[in-house]
Amino acid sequence: MAGALDMSVEREGTIPATAKDVWRCLTEPDLRVEVFSMVIQAVTEEGQPGELGHVMQFSERDAGAEPNVIRLTTLEAEPYTRLVQERVGPDGEFTVTTFLEETAEGTHVRRVFHVYKPQPTLAERAMRSAIATFFSLGGTVRLKADIGDLARHFAVRV
């Protein structure tokens, strides 16, 4: 089982809001807490929200679990169009890429979770199937919640 560990999970939906408003929800700590049901606290560690190099730390809670501390670092930022962040937490390290495209109905949001390890450990290689299943299920649940939270937040305001 040689080779890299390379997996992606994606989710998409149309949010009844402008790309600028969706962007702010993804990048500003106060809005992240207000909009996303799993986030219970968020602060900027360094940089400016929505800009390259911004680091946000937040606490996230899955149902019935203790909160986890997550760090999001902005790796690429094309305002209101494309946002690439590195997510580091107890569930691993992966990249979250968000694509935003304004439409007549609002903003089409596509979020992709991607994990890539060029040289996985022997244990990761042995558990490749289990890791792929866990990442796919966890990523799908998290992304479904993210898109749903955004839709609910803006639906109330329409």
| Cα–Cα separations (whole angstroms), residue 154 to 16, 19, 157 | 6, 12, 5
Domains and CATH numbers, the chain: 5-157 (3.30.530.20)
| Cα–Cα separations (whole angstroms), residue 39 to 36, 59, 120, 127, 144 | 6, 6, 30, 29, 14
Amino acid at 94: F
Phi, psi of 117 (to 5 degrees): -125, 110
pLDDT tens per residue, the chain (158 residues)? 467 777 778 889 999 999 999 999 999 999 999 999 889 999 999 999 999 999 999 998 876 678 889 999 999 999 999 999 999 888 778 889 999 999 999 999 999 888 777 777 776 666 666 666 666 666 656 666 788 889 999 986 54
| Cα–Cα separations (whole angstroms), residue 1 to 4, 5, 92, 122, 135 | 9, 10, 21, 9, 18
CA 68 to chain centre: 14
Q: Residue 85: how many CB atoms within 10 A of its CB?
A: 22
Rounded distance, CA 118 to CA 63, Å?
32
In 3D space, the residue among 45, 44, 89 whose CA is nearest the CA of residue 70 turns out to be 89
